[in-house]
Amino acid sequence: MSTVMDNFSWLYRKPSCQGRIKVEPEDFVVKENLGFEFAGTGEHFMVKIRKTGENTKYVVNELAKACGVKSRDVSWAGLKDRHAVTEQWLSVHLPGKPDPDLAQFVAEHPGVEVLETARHDKKLRPGDLVGNWFQLTLRELDQADDVVARLAQVAKQGVPNYFGEQRFGHSGNNVVKARAWGNDEFRVRDKSKRSFYLSAARSWLFNMVLSARIEQQAVHTVLDGDLLQVDGDERGRLVQADLEQWQQAVDNGTASITAPMMGDNALPTSGQSEAFEMAIVEQEPLLLKLIRDNRMRHERRPLLLKPQDMAWQHDGDTVTVSFALPAGCFATAVVRELMVELPQQEGYDANSDQ
């Protein structure tokens, strides 16, 4: 099945194994990790839900009705896939009001369970989470042994930290729209659409740089002028000397090579690395223009993603794998290195709101 992600290189070569994922919602399980404790008191009613076959925004709207508030009074830390079983927290702004009875809400929505409730002094905001835990079931694998071998490689060396296909819209439409907007073909006033297109533009350029480094066999190799993320140092370190020392830090996992989330300011890299990055991103002048016109600020993102707490089971033509990823990283980046996904069966709803 050809996808927009076929534009980007594989770290372990394109898989030869074909198979299916999300045959059933239970084949894609996600559990959110907020990474902090609730205050126990406050004007925000916190609700932990488990939903099956429902998207987050639909549940938000229905929970708002059940609590007697507007949808804008319900917030979340992250959107989750529809065709999956997902656990996440929602916060409902209920100042001066008691905890509502959600029995009727649960009875009317068989795809939603309420697992836990609490009180907190702040509402949830997008990005207020440390990461997610996944359990994925890969079915109808025609070379399951190859998937198992690749899992061992992934556990040791990680996968490319690509933004997944859902970031780019159906058939990459968000990138197409971003180029057209950058070419002044139309104006975008809707805030959500502006966010989608700008995010797609920056993510596409990041993926391009990462893919090029894989092609040049430089994804594990420190270049002169690279910016590294070092454990315990959020500022990053510019590599201008002692390449061998920094290479050892990357090899032992205490430092990570980064690529750009482009902005309107100058690249923080220098020398060989800066020249490499600019040569790639300048292949997309309309996306660059759009990012600069909208005064986006430059950020960095690690090239590689190493799933944590990886475990897997192999049973015939089925492999079940579990792992944890930091917030903002995509489980599809892991699956992409394991197998080629067959076209979904008739009746499958590909709606994803990660």
Catalytic residue ranges: 81
SS3 206: helix
Can you give 46-103 as a three-state secondary structure string? EEEEEEECCCHHHHHHHHHHHHCCCHHHEEECCCCCCCCEEEEEEEEECCCCCCCCCH
> Rounded distance, CA 90 to CA 49, Å?
8
Largest CA distance in the chain: 64
- Measured in degrees and rounded to the nearest 5, phi and psi for residue 147 equal -60, -45
Q: What is the DSSP string of 208-263?
A: HHHHHHHHTT-SSSPPTT-EEEETTEEEEEE-SS-HHHHHHHHHTTSEEEEEEE--
> Rounded distance, CA 209 to CA 277, Å?
6
Q: How many CB atoms lie within 10 A of CB 260?
A: 23
Give me 315's structure tokens. 């049973």
Q: How many CB atoms lie within 10 A of CB 337?
A: 21
Residue 163 CB partners (closer than 8 Å, separation 6+): 203, 204, 206, 207, 330
Can you give 320-338 as a three-state secondary structure string? EEEEEEECCCCHHHHHHCC
Residue 38 CB partners (closer than 8 Å, separation 6+): 46, 118, 119, 120
Residue whose structure tokens are 């966010």: 195
User: Smallest Cα–Cα separation from 89: which of 53, 142, 47, 128?
Assistant: 47
